[in-house]
Chain A
Amino acid sequence: MLKVENLTKVYKVGTFGGRTLKAVDAVSFEVPQGEVVSLIGESGSGKSTIGKMILGLIPMTSGTITVDGVPVRAGREYYRTVQGVFQDPFSCYNPVFKADRVFQLIKDSYYPSVSDKEWAERVHVAIEDVRLNPREVLGKFPHQLSGGQLQRLLIARALLLDLKLLIADEITSMLDASTRIDVLNLLAELKTRGLSVLYVTHDLSLGHYLAERTVVLRSGTIVEMGLTHKVFDGPLHPYTRQLLSSVPRLHAPWEDAAAVETCLYHERGGKGGLYEAEPGHFVACAQLDDCQGEPS
């Protein structure tokens, strides 16, 4: 479905781009059809940059992104099948307009010939699809709706198109615990319709709840990826282990991160890329970077 190969983003910083900053460095992964893949990373890992590049919102420096084998060309036709939902629901709505304007924009661009009456019906169906009551959410301003309602409306908006791939960038991090899980369940249900979802998050437990596959990013490179249960049950990279040990768990005390051992794959030719430790479980060479240092 989605295939990302050697994706790189170099930012030019300073006046006239005097210095460069590598935000994403040769990242390759795939999102198969009907699956949720979570892209996990801390701040500065480049996870959101990757999401934005797939959506064509920021240009990539090099690499290829293909959807169903076709290279990405950002534009009206591409957005018919690939859509995004972002972190801050309140920032996604223009505060001076009513929230349901997001549906009108879709109609104006993609379905100008559909009658208003039929469109209203489609909107109703989409809103009910995301378990909202159309009467409660239509005709209101963004500030009159809750974050959970706004995020669900954005998913409903994407469902009005011929959606194949949804990039969900931290879409639950600003929601309260009691409503967050409903939005997550909604994402998980999308895959039963054959949709693919790239779920970008910093929260390991949410990624684990949702995704078939997990990609762990650090400073713009992939350190480990594979089937979710393999990555979480048998993390191989010291960074993944350290992340996992830092997650506060409700019913278990914090454990200390396992001591960093010398890299198992360094001598086996893993340098520079990913090493397939077991079928479907890839890990980067630990000695390539400074993961032995204390987190700051």
Chain B
Amino acid sequence: MTTTTPTALPTEERVVRREALYFAVRNPKLVIGFSIVFVFAVIGLLGPVLLDVDSPNEYVAMPMLPPSSEHWFGTTTQGQDVFTQFVYGVRTTFLAGAIGGGIAAVIAMAIGFTAGYRGGLVDEALNMLTNIVLVIPTLAVLLIINAYLGIRSVGMQALLIGLTSWPWAARAIRAQTFSLRSRDFVDLARLSGVGTPRIIAREIAPNMSSYLFMTFILLFGSSVLIAASLDFIGLGPTEGVSLGLMLQNATQWSALQLGLWWWFVPPGAAITAVVGALYVANVGLDEVFNPKLRET
């Protein structure tokens, strides 16, 4: 059959893809949002490589220096270079977002797809679990876990965030699956002898790929925020540096009172920019994928 050869991509498929791309590159929200995220991602990815320092927490210069050509973002009260910390912090932030958001997305998909497709008792049980996790005050639980277990690494922190932030996404995916599973093509796949996991993966999921993508973006953003909040209140990882830890240190050493604005403005602005840009891009994506929202 001609369809099985991927080389012969029919014109129409290209047209459909081009249509999404057409709106994507013309959507200012999407372009601006992703550009900002991209810039920070490049900083986090390449920055530490280019800076070539052993540890971002080294004492390298006089304390409390304002921004200069030597130290772009100035130094802390201990004489650490703020720019170096910032670059490493951005990397940590993306790591927290990717791991936390990724774990949450995987759990949300597993539970959402199963509950939505199976329905009945399975659905009610999973729904109950989701609702329980949903109403647990996540931050409080993380506080307790952090306080008792102590968190050393960024990865551990991201894992805990991922394990607690999936419920709303699971509910959304469940609702989508629920409406898709009543479509006749699911029945037709069953009549073709296709098993349940394959039906979910090959029939239902492709229909909500854009939706899943947006869910991941939102989970990524919220993981970044939660990680920053935890760091800020002193429950962040004890090793390394993150934007939230920078803020916490700045507060602890009274940067505001001492007028060391270069210490807390960059990390604060970066968190706001990354999360804000993700949300703006998400709105843009919504407009691209949902023809009804397209402004013609």
User: Which residues on A are within 8 Å of B, measured CB to CB?
Assistant: 16, 52, 55, 57, 75-76, 79-80, 83-84, 86-88, 91-98, 100-106, 108-110, 116, 119-120, 123, 138-141, 144, 154
Q: Is the CB of B206 within 8 A of A94?
A: yes
The answer for the CA separation of A215 and B183 in the assembled complex, in Å, is 27
Chain A residue contacts of B1, Cβ below 8 A? 100, 103-104, 116, 119-120, 123, 138
Of A57, A95, A104, A110, which is within 8 A of B3 by CB?
A: A104
Which stretch, B28-36, B58-66, B190-198, B259-267, touches the partner chain A?
B190-198
Q: How many of chain B's residues touch chain A, expressed as a range? A: 20 to 34
Considering only residues 1-23 of chain B, those with a C-beta below 8 Å from chain A are: 1-4, 10, 12-13, 16
Known: A119-B1, A144-B12. A92 touches B192 (CB 8 A): no
Chain B residue contacts of A106, Cβ below 8 A? 192
Chain A residue contacts of B13, Cβ below 8 A? 98, 141
User: Which residues on B are within 8 Å of A, measured CB to CB?
Assistant: 1-4, 10, 12-13, 16, 124, 183-185, 187-194, 203, 206-207, 209
B161 to chain A, nearest CB (A): 32
The answer for the CA separation of A188 and B188 in the assembled complex, in Å, is 22
The answer for the CA separation of A101 and B1 in the assembled complex, in Å, is 10
Known: A57-B187, A141-B12. A96 touches B206 (CB 8 A): yes
B13 to chain A, nearest CB (A): 8
Chain A residue contacts of B189, Cβ below 8 A? 105
Chain A residue at minimal CB-CB distance from B205? A96
Chain A residue contacts of B124, Cβ below 8 A? 16
A169 to chain B, nearest CB (A): 9
Q: Is the CB of B193 within 8 A of A92?
A: no
Of B4, B187, B193, which is within 8 A of A76 by CB?
A: B193
Q: Is the CB of B192 within 8 A of A105?
A: yes
The answer for the CA separation of A16 and B203 in the assembled complex, in Å, is 29
Q: Is the CB of A83 within 8 A of B184?
A: no
Q: Is the CB of A94 within 8 A of B187?
A: no
Chain B residue contacts of A102, Cβ below 8 A? 188, 192
The answer for the CA separation of A105 and B186 in the assembled complex, in Å, is 12
The answer for the CA separation of A139 and B5 in the assembled complex, in Å, is 11
B271 to chain A, nearest CB (A): 36
The answer for the CA separation of A75 and B195 in the assembled complex, in Å, is 9
The answer for the CA separation of A97 and B192 in the assembled complex, in Å, is 16
Pick from A80, A106, A109 the residue with the most CB of B within 10 Å. A109
The answer for the CA separation of A57 and B182 in the assembled complex, in Å, is 11
Q: Is the CB of B185 within 8 A of A110?
A: no
The answer for the CA separation of A116 and B189 in the assembled complex, in Å, is 20
Known interface pairs A84-B191, A100-B1; 13 further A-B residue pairs with C-beta atoms within 8 A, sorted by A's residue number: A86-B188, A93-B185, A94-B207, A96-B206, A98-B10, A98-B13, A109-B193, A110-B193, A116-B4, A120-B1, A120-B2, A139-B2, A141-B16
Q: Is the CB of B185 within 8 A of A57?
A: no
Of B12, B190, B191, which is within 8 A of A140 by CB?
A: B12
The answer for the CA separation of A85 and B198 in the assembled complex, in Å, is 21
Chain B residue at minimal CB-CB distance from A158? B191
Known: A79-B192, A109-B194. A92 touches B3 (CB 8 A): no
Chain A residue contacts of B3, Cβ below 8 A? 98, 100-101, 104, 138-139
Chain A to chain B: the 6 pairs with minimum beta-carbon distance, closest first: A109-B193, A76-B193, A105-B192, A91-B184, A92-B184, A94-B185
The answer for the CA separation of A141 and B12 in the assembled complex, in Å, is 8
Chain B residue contacts of A110, Cβ below 8 A? 193
Q: Is the CB of B183 within 8 A of A91?
A: yes
The answer for the CA separation of A52 and B3 in the assembled complex, in Å, is 30
Chain B residue contacts of A140, Cβ below 8 A? 10, 12
Chain A residue at minimal CB-CB distance from B204? A94
Chain A residue contacts of B207, Cβ below 8 A? 94-96
B195 to chain A, nearest CB (A): 9
Of A97, A108, A123, which is within 8 A of B206 by CB?
A: A97
The answer for the CA separation of A210 and B114 in the assembled complex, in Å, is 41
The answer for the CA separation of A13 and B12 in the assembled complex, in Å, is 44
Q: Is the CB of A104 within 8 A of B188?
A: no
Q: Is the CB of A86 within 8 A of B192?
A: no
The answer for the CA separation of A229 and B188 in the assembled complex, in Å, is 34
A286 to chain B, nearest CB (A): 36
Chain B residue at minimal CB-CB distance from A86? B184
The answer for the CA separation of A123 and B203 in the assembled complex, in Å, is 22
